[in-house]
Chain A
Amino acid sequence: MSDLLSASVLAAFITAIIVQTMPLIMAAIGETIGEQSGVLNLGIEGVMLVGAYSGYVAALASGSAWVGMLGGIAGGVVANLLMLVLNTWLGLNQIVIGLAITIMGEGLTSVLYLQNYSKHPQSVPQDAWPIPGLSDVPVVGPSIFRQSGIFWVLILVMIVVAFMLARTNWGLSIRAAGQKPSSLDAAGGSVMRTRTQAVLLNGAFVGLGGAFLSVITTGTFTAFMTGGLGFVAIVITMLSRGKVHWIVITSLIYGIAVAIKNPLQLVGVTVPADVFQMLPFVVVMLTLIIFARSSVVPPALGTSYTRGAR
């Protein structure tokens, strides 16, 4: 038992929670921006994989995890262009296009990786920014305060996004596009422009989440590595109803569920790996059942908008 509570185990546990949770938070933030504006992106799994792959490639090519993050953003935005043009601009079915993006994203990244890297799998260099003083505090020091600098930047980004959604005109427009798009247009805004911005940001954040997953969490790329994480992000989005702090809290629950595997093994509790893989989804299902009444979804979610449609 004392093994479990040792500083190094706890530190590893906390680190595991952080790196498992971050990709999810990023993806959920991206999906939130999209869904608040009325766009449900079922392609999130594919976009995340594309971001993971492009992030991986960028990090390897440049030797820097930061460039990897940028690569992930670029990849995510490009992957989401399909949704942008076909759904937001032309009004085609969101669900079908989303599924197409997921299927193609899975296929393309798998094929590309196997073609280019499977002969010589490489790991991405890690880079940590220890915070002076704080990083020596037991347990918390080696885990929270010795993370990559990217971690801190992303925390800042989370705060900025929360602020933008709640307290700016832009955030108001995004929410109007999802609640009642005709109101936004009638008020002189543009649903087209607003949703375009939202879809681009959706791609950027989801791609960023994917890049974090490959570059930082695992340090490498594997085909289909997201394993349903994108869909977990969609559930988190629906439960959080547009509030970033709820995204963080629910994502942490997921992160803990995944990270708890190692500490449990140390204690001698051998649970098959499959249970751990299933656990987040079981948790998600239970949450959906318990909160069945209250998962409130923007009324215009999934619908396309044409100004002045007859």
Chain B
Amino acid sequence: MSSTVAAPGVISLREITKAFPGVVANDRISLDIVSGQVHCLLGENGAGKSTLISILAGIQQPDSGAIEVDGTPTPINSPKAAVDLGIGVVHQHSTLVPSFTVLENLMLGETGLMLGEKRARERLEELADLLGARIDPQALAGDLGLGQQQQVEIAKAMWKGSRLLILDEPTSMLTPQAIEKLAESVAQIKAQGLAVVFITHKLREAYQMGDCVTILRGGRNVGHIGVDQLATFTEAQAQSAILAAMFGEDISTAGAAELAGATEARREVDDLELGTKPIRLELHGVSTRGHGHDVDIQDVSLSVHEGEILGVAGIDGHGQSALAEVIAGQRPAAFGTIRFDGQAITRLGVRGRQQLGLRYVTDDRLHEGTVGGMSVAMNLVLKRIGQAPFWRFGQINRKAVNVEADRLIQEYEIKTPSSATRAGTLSGGNIQKVLLARELTHGARLVVVNKPTYGLDLKTVQHVREILTGFAAEGGSVLLLSTDLDELVELSHRIAVISGGEIVGIVPNDGRGTAERVGQLMTGAIEGTR
């Protein structure tokens, strides 16, 4: 009994258009998805990939245009309709219920009264064999590692799927080893006759994983490299073709190629004689204790020098938040000491540390970093509430606030209709600029940044990196937490690797091979603890 033998055929998108207030996410996009092929959808953040996928998954409906299955127009009005058509999606963010077991997650959505546990177990075994994975049906989804979670999600997408499997940025949080496993699974799935759509913003992956490539930019389909063509291209040829489609005349934009993940990353920042620089931040044996959901850090010791960018590499969810928050003062250190410019600050609160020049740009821009309902101006002075000149005798001095806000808006090129605009209406990139503007002014000496370029378009990414390197060049220190290895290699003087809440090694960024060494530390740590 093999219900994974695919129905041969083509799923076509014809002139799909979808607009949201203020932006056209998909603009008359047409493309064909053929069974037995891996169709790679390539584009930078904001190009419209996610919207297109949610239309195929039945979560959104297009404003105009049609979807054809084997030539017949077939509207997909709900996720159920998509499932019935045999379309399965593995989203970027997990759709598993953390408190359910693997089996319960897989059975969710089935029809019929009784829980068909026996049948579900059999089907899981079948799919696990196909994917080359070992999954414990009774494990809680929330306890699984990210790689395993993804395997369960693929199994779920293929549960009833007989036609199309869509993978949305599947490699963004995986180790190199897990990425290889994923490639194997994809090959197997392809061999079964399914169509696979693979979404990414990295050129290298498009070439390695895809049989054909469609490039999206600004909501439009700006280029397509067919199966036969791609097969004959070398990697370099494929890259040129893709870059030409992506940027047209702008191909000479500095760093565009690297930003697009086309070439191997190289360090951009200048050399630094770390020995001669004083230590600004020092952690010694720091551990945090139990907030429940987050991974705690254990016995972390590291130091950041003046003018240094210390990168912290690691898989998402391995203690980065705890590390950032314990340094910022938002989380108490259960053990260990923290010193800033020689002064012990372990017991000092958030405000005290801010005043000493220790700043924190959080990765949760919308709910932690800014207050969406407040004006841009207020958000820019949010960490100086009560301080002169903005507040005198407890009372607000709006003029002073606006003067400062206008200054920062100009200096950091924040695009906003006015300083009174509600911060929640700004784009992601501009919100990030607000955060950077707020944290880096007024006596900042060291800033902890967590995933600063995540989800931003290329231009803003570049700007953010310039801001950070500029800050370091003038003597500021940066603790850069990121899941983007390329970014770490380009910006850091040294790279620490965090795994399971512990620092498993610090690699000096001094030439080729840094990425490999970091990758080895990451996988080695995982294999060691398993």
Contact = CB atoms under 8 A, between A and B. Distances in A.
The reply, when asked whether chain A contacts chain B directly with Cβ atoms under 8 A, is: yes
A175 B107 CA distance: 13
B156 A167 contact: no
Given A179-B100, A308-B60, A185 B79 contact: yes
Interface string B97-128: 11110001101111111110000000000000
B34 to A, nearest CB: 25
Interface in A46-71: none
A132 B304 CA distance: 84
B95 interface: yes
A189 B97 CA distance: 14
A133 interface: no
Contact of B109 (A168, A175, A187, A310): A187
Interface residues of B, number: 31
B408 interface: no
A183 interface: yes
Contact of B113 (A170, A188, A189, A310): A170
Max chain A CB contacts within 10 Å: which of B54, B97, B105, B156? B97
Contacts of B95: 180, 182-183, 186-187
B364 to A, nearest CB: 17
B426 to A, nearest CB: 14
Interface string B57-71: 101100000000000
Contacts of B448: none
Interface string A160-185: 00000001111011011001101111
Contacts of A170: 113
Contacts of A307: 59, 79
A308 B156 contact: no
Nearest to A171: B115
B113 A176 contact: no
Contact of A186 (B91, B98, B107): B91
Nearest to B157: A186
A188 B83 contact: yes
B108 A167 contact: no
A167 B114 contact: yes
Given A172-B107, A172-B108, A176-B97, A186 B115 contact: no
Max chain B CB contacts within 10 Å: which of A169, A173, A182, A188? A188
B114 A180 contact: no
Nearest to A185: B79
Interface string B352-374: 00000000000000000000000
Given A167-B114, A172-B107, A172-B115, A186 B97 contact: no
A180 B91 CA distance: 15
A310 B424 CA distance: 12
A179 B97 contact: yes
A190 interface: yes
Nearest to B60: A308
B80 A184 contact: no
B59 A183 contact: no
Given A168-B115, A172-B104, A172-B108, A188 B79 contact: yes
B54 A308 contact: yes
B140 to A, nearest CB: 12
Contacts of A310: 20
Contact of A167 (B60, B111, B112, B115): B115
Contacts of B104: 172
Interface in B61-95: 78-80, 82-84, 89, 91, 95
B105 A183 contact: yes
A176 B112 CA distance: 16
B100 to A, nearest CB: 7
A188 B87 CA distance: 11
Nearest to A296: B99
A205 B107 CA distance: 28
A141 to B, nearest CB: 38
A185 B97 CA distance: 12
Given A183-B95, A188-B80, A169 B59 contact: no
Give me the 8 closest cross-chain CB pairs, A-B, nearest first: A187-B109, A188-B83, A188-B109, A188-B80, A186-B95, A308-B59, A187-B108, A180-B97
6 contacts: A167-B114, A167-B115, A169-B107, A172-B104, A183-B95, A184-B109
Given A169-B114, A182-B95, A310-B20, 17 more contacts: A169-B110, A172-B100, A172-B107, A172-B108, A176-B100, A176-B108, A180-B98, A183-B95, A183-B105, A186-B89, A187-B156, A188-B79, A188-B84, A189-B80, A189-B109, A190-B78, A308-B54
Interface of B: 20, 54, 57, 59-60, 78-80, 82-84, 89, 91, 95-100, 104-105, 107-115, 156
